[in-house]
Structure 1
Amino acid sequence: DFHVDQDLKRFSDGIAKLKCPLDAVQPFLKRVKAEQQGIKDGEIFDLPDFPLVIGGDDDRPLRFETLRPFFGVLAGYPWLRRISLLHTRIGDDGVMVIAEYLQQYTPHPERNPFGIEVLELPENGITPRGAGYLGRILTQNESLKKLNLDFNDLGDEGAVLLGDGCKWNSTLESLSLQYCNMGEKGGEAIAKYIVRASSVKELSLRGNPLKPVGVTHIARSLAKNAYLVKLDLADTSFGIDLETVEALRDGIEGNDSLEAVDLNLNSIVPAGVQLLVEMLKAKPKLTQFLVYERISEVVFRDVMDTVAANIKLMKKKKKKGKGKAKAASAPGTADPAANSQMNSARGDKPPSA
């Protein structure tokens, strides 16, 4: 018995003592109240897993005088795994509060062994200062798997500060930095700290003015990366430079983990598109590959047909792999004596009766 009702009551009692405006967090408080009532009525038996989601409202902004005391009470609530503050204009001071919360939030492993896994803060007026707070937290945090900072003016400095934290983090898998005003220097920092040194699997840089120089830095780091599965470079203003496209072609060719690449909304020179098509045909693992549709219709169709062929080939490989695994596991029984010798060699002990 986890006494969830007591956790919810403790949280509600803490909120009731606050003297700050609570309009912006009412949706979450109503969900807590409904959960309490459901447990009381015997209608809810599952452990609470509802996220903290607050959407921006011009009439109910999430102000600092509410954010700090609210997260102070929230630190004692052990069931939270996702925080989504969507265009709530919390700014850098708000990010500082959340960073402090992430540092303090240590729920009991029996209640919540996961911790905060998802943090989404799109369009919140965050600048390089806020990126610095998050970067420092990432050097210590071992729970966060997904971070979304889309539509915040982080700039090149923010890319450096955030990236410097990412390189020390081993749990972050998904990082979205769409339309964050990161330029050439930002691209260099992302290449150095995130592509080369982190374990991020999904990286979205859509809408940043990386230009040829920034994208080239990223492209040259791809061959040294073993984790990246999805890369979004749509609308990053690099397509007019053939050398950048060549570097990107070489980087993708030298990377063995990528499965999805988005180059949409970049006007790539015809010779560059042809290079990418040839590369795509030699990389069957790439089953998602997007280019701007405003290219030659014949070439665009060639890209789509190649992707379709790659998908078909990978499905066939997976099916063949499952068949081999099934054949290896049946029929027959392993020699018990051999198993015993193997366990002894490993130092394994038999389970107690």
Structure 2
Amino acid sequence: MPLEFLIPHENNPPIRSLELNGSGVDDNSLRLLSEELKTNKTVTSIDLSLNDFSSEGVRSFSDTLKTDKMLTDVNLSDNKIGPDGAKYLSQALKFNFTLLKLNISNSDSYLALGVLGIQYLCELIKTNHSLARVDFSYNDIQPPSTKVLSEALKINYGLTNIALKGNPLGPKGIQDICEALKINHGISIINLANTGMEDAGSEFVSEIIKGNKSLTDIELGCNQISFKGAKTLSEALRSNTTLLKLSLRSNPLGPVGAHHLSKAIASNNTLTELNLSTTDLGDIGVKDIAEALVLNQSLTVVSLVYNEISDAGVQYLCEALKINKSLKTLNLSYNNISDKGIKSLCEVLKVNNTLTTIHLDLNPNITQDGIKALKEALKTNYTLLEVTGIDDPVIKQYLKRNNAIATCFKNFTTHLTEGLQSEDLEKNLSLLEESIQPNMPTDHYLRECYRLLTALGHLTNVGSEIAALTNLLPPYTHPFLQTTANLALSLLLCTDLSQQLDQLGLQEKRCQLLLHGFNDVLQRPELNNFCYIALFHLVYPNQSIIQSEFDSFKKNTALLNQDLFKNIIQEALVVCQKSNSPPEEINFLKAALAQLNYPVEVAARLTQSPAFLLALRNKHPEATYFTLVEHAIPAHDSQTLLIPINQIFPAITQQTTEKLEDLVKPTSTYRTDIKAKIHRLKQTLFAMFEKKSTTRIVQSNLSFFADNGSHSQANSSKSNLSKEQLQQIKELISSLQKEISSFWPYPNKDIKQIKVNALDSLIKKTETMTISEAIDEIDSEYPQARSGQISTRTADLFNNLRNTHDKIPGSF
């Protein structure tokens, strides 16, 4: 097989990835390929799984790895590697510092590595600290080899992800691996599925869940863990604040195990994904899980595949989902759900705007009756994006509609204003106008979608900044919409509007809101400078920015969000492992990593750790201060905003950790306080703009409020309208005309023009007749003036004018 021709030579386009899995690559082919790779400078990833080479082919490839500086991802799974192949790889990777991922899984099916081969792999783990991810699954690793692997993992500080799936570790082997995890603080993802763990082994894993603050993802499927193991795991999960994903699939937990786990689910608000598929829960077990979901605020994905769940179990889940506002994906495939269960789900879809994906594959008792109910529910549900297991063209159309709206917001969050296509905005706004009913509350998902899409449209239109602002400042009840609105608001606060707000004495509030909205996108290159400018203004209020001073400020200040801060603490733990730091410092950093809140006084304590300072300086070598975005929100004193990082405190002791925990105790309301502060900031801004018609300073400083002079200039002295009423009408005319003349295609511009004509005519008619008479004539002459299922500004104005007139004594 002439594999050498796959590698580009001069004048050929570069190849970044070679997918050669199952291609019949033998020893000779791999030798030729390896020779080519010695001079190639483009290929970074190569998949050689499921081929026909032996240890001799691995030898040729290993010679290339000794000098290769490009490859970062190598897959050699399902090949006859054997002990000699493991030896060649181990020797080669002593000199390779660029390879990040290595997969040599499933060698046991072809040519076992044997005890000697596993020992070579352990030598590799000991000496190579550049590899971040290794897959050693299905390689017959078992005691006593697990002890050797454990010792290797104790001194490795580079690995973050290790897969040991399908190895017969048994409880003793699990104990060995967990002993390593007590010391290794770099590994965050571990796959221990199908390792013969049983309940005895789950006790060792539970200890790690309690004590290891680095693990974020644990796979424990297919391990014969019963309700006893579930109990110990549940107790560990109640005190864990770092684990994000847990899989217990294919374990006989039963209803009792579900009962134990439900206690952890109810109290743990860190876990985001939980896989309980094929765990014999039944309806009784699902009832406990459902009750826990009522209290849980973090889980976004729950899988309950193949659990003998009937319509009764679905009903329990549905009652929970009417309250739960975090779950996005629910997998109910391979159960006993019929039309009754589908109808229960349909009731949820009327009130739940968080759920985006439901898997219903292989529930054979769902008939056309259930599908009909789902179609009816999707008429008014705009958030469900995917339903599997039901093939219906009408349902597909509804989901396509929902995805179009979601994509509009997603494009904005991904590409900012460049992701906003006017045609999509127009189409979705028109769609929403057709769907929104007059009796829908203002916090209904559709109304909030319409408001946010309107704001995004204004955001792209120069001169519509105030309209965008007033649509973004009021709160959104749906979390995804609120997050998107926060990002849009921060972008808006980077425009020329910022100067106007600063002139009104709102600089501090503007900068706090800007940083809050950019918190999750802090490192995006196009936004990072704006964040530092806002921070500069908070530290040096009302001071003009000089480029050289700003450059120095940015270089000397590390601006972090909580995720970045936790990553530095995580790296500090790895530094401790690498340098054999005293256990007091390790325990101190573990305690810090486990925290959910980091107010200034808590974050400042981290500077007592030499390992933390080293990890921080590795990321920000010239920084002399650091701060978190969240510190800017409640800050009253700019002097406490920046934490010095060049100060070394006395040596860390057990008392240091205790003092840290004492500082943390009073911070239980920290997140709530920040949220309340943001709400007050927005209220303050919104209140100022609500007063724009009566506050001279606002009108004189914000030219956007000036009448454009294009509408009727009626003489108010001859009109039966009061000055305030006339001002209201003129402002509405001005707003409508901006939308009509905007290059951004607002929907129904022809209707908006009719409304402008009607309002102009109303002003003239009130010069010769009462307000009620004028409105009666307008209703007759311009019947479309009151149209609009959400945009009822004109109709509301007419009703208010009539009601006010009717209440005036002596009016007729």
TM-score range normalised by the length of the shorter chain = 0.7 to 0.9
Structure 2 distance, partners of 1:217, 1:255, is 15
Q: What residue number does 1:79 align with?
A: 130
Gaps of 5+ in 1: 1-22, 41-45, 107-114
Q: Give the conservation status (yes or no) of the 8 Å contact 1:103–1:137.
A: yes
Structure 2 distance, partners of 1:154, 1:223, is 26
Distance of aligned partners of 1:84 and 1:346 in 2 relative to their CA distance in 1, 3 Å threshold:
same
Aligned-pair CA distance for 1:264: 1.2
Distance of aligned partners of 1:303 and 1:146 in 2 relative to their CA distance in 1, 3 Å threshold:
farther
Letter in 2 for 1:316: L
Q: What residue number does 1:177 align with?
A: 220
Identity between Structure 1 and Structure 2 (%): 20
Distance of aligned partners of 1:270 and 1:95 in 2 relative to their CA distance in 1, 3 Å threshold:
same
Pairs within 5 Å for 1:303-342 = 303=345, 306=349, 307-308=355-356, 309=383, 315-330=480-495, 331-332=498-499, 339-340=539-540
Aligned-pair CA distance for 1:72: 2.0
**Which of 214-223 and 297-306 deviates more?**
297-306
Distance of aligned partners of 1:345 and 1:270 in 2 relative to their CA distance in 1, 3 Å threshold:
closer
Q: What residue number does 2:152 align with?
A: 101
Q: Give the conservation status (yes or no) of the 8 Å contact 1:89–1:125.
A: yes
Aligned-pair CA distance for 1:70: 3.9
Structure 2 distance, partners of 1:128, 1:201, is 24
Structure 2 distance, partners of 1:302, 1:25, is 58
1:56 aligns with 2:106: yes
Pairs within 5 Å for 1:232-243 = 232-241=275-284
Of the two structures, which has the highest relative contact order with CA contacts closer than 8 Å and spacing of 6 or more? 1
Q: What residue number does 1:13 align with?
A: none
Letter in 2 for 1:322: L
Pairs within 5 Å for 1:1-353 = 32-39=62-69, 48-57=98-107, 58-106=109-157, 115-197=158-240, 199-241=242-284, 244-292=285-333, 293-300=335-342, 303=345, 306=349, 307-308=355-356, 309=383, 315-330=480-495, 331-332=498-499, 339-340=539-540, 344-346=639-641
Q: Give the conservation status (yes or no) of the 8 Å contact 2:243–2:271.
A: yes
Aligned-pair CA distance for 1:100: 1.0
Aligned-pair CA distance for 1:202: 0.3
Secondary structure of the corresponding residue to residue 167 of structure 1: helix
Letter in 1 for 2:100: F
Structure 2 distance, partners of 1:209, 1:319, is 42
Letter in 1 for 2:315: Q
Letter in 2 for 1:339: V
Structure 1 distance, partners of 2:274, 2:150, is 27
Secondary structure of the corresponding residue to residue 321 of structure 2: helix
Q: What residue number does 1:110 align with?
A: none
Distance of aligned partners of 1:73 and 1:288 in 2 relative to their CA distance in 1, 3 Å threshold:
closer
Q: Deviations over 1:57-89 (max 9, x none)?
A: 333112112222442254222311112112111
Distance of aligned partners of 1:105 and 1:255 in 2 relative to their CA distance in 1, 3 Å threshold:
same
Distance of aligned partners of 1:348 and 1:162 in 2 relative to their CA distance in 1, 3 Å threshold:
closer
Q: Deviations over 1:235-294 (max 9, x none)?
A: 1001142xx333211211111111111111011243221120121232232110111453
Secondary structure of the corresponding residue to residue 175 of structure 1: strand
Structure 1 distance, partners of 2:67, 2:114, is 29
Secondary structure of the corresponding residue to residue 49 of structure 1: coil
Q: Deviations over 1:10-66 (max 9, x none)?
A: xxxxxxxxxxxxx987787665533445449xxxxx961332311223331121122
Q: Give the conservation status (yes or no) of the 8 Å contact 1:231–1:261.
A: yes
Greater C-alpha radius of gyration: 2
Aligned residues: 314
Aligned-pair CA distance for 1:216: 0.7
Q: Give the conservation status (yes or no) of the 8 Å contact 1:56–1:88.
A: yes
Letter in 1 for 2:323: A
Q: Give the conservation status (yes or no) of the 8 Å contact 2:155–2:184.
A: no
Aligned-residue Cα RMSD (Å) equals 3.1
**Which of 325-334 and 96-105 deviates more?**
325-334
Structure 1 distance, partners of 2:256, 2:102, is 39
Gaps of 5+ in 2: 1-52, 71-95, 350-354, 357-382, 386-405, 407-477, 509-535, 542-636, 647-812
Distance of aligned partners of 1:136 and 1:37 in 2 relative to their CA distance in 1, 3 Å threshold:
closer
Structure 1 distance, partners of 2:261, 2:645, is 51
Structure 2 distance, partners of 1:168, 1:24, is 42
Larger fraction in helix: 2
Structure 2 distance, partners of 1:207, 1:181, is 8
**Which of 58-67 and 141-150 deviates more?**
58-67
Q: Give the conservation status (yes or no) of the 8 Å contact 2:237–2:268.
A: no
Structure 2 distance, partners of 1:29, 1:344, is 61
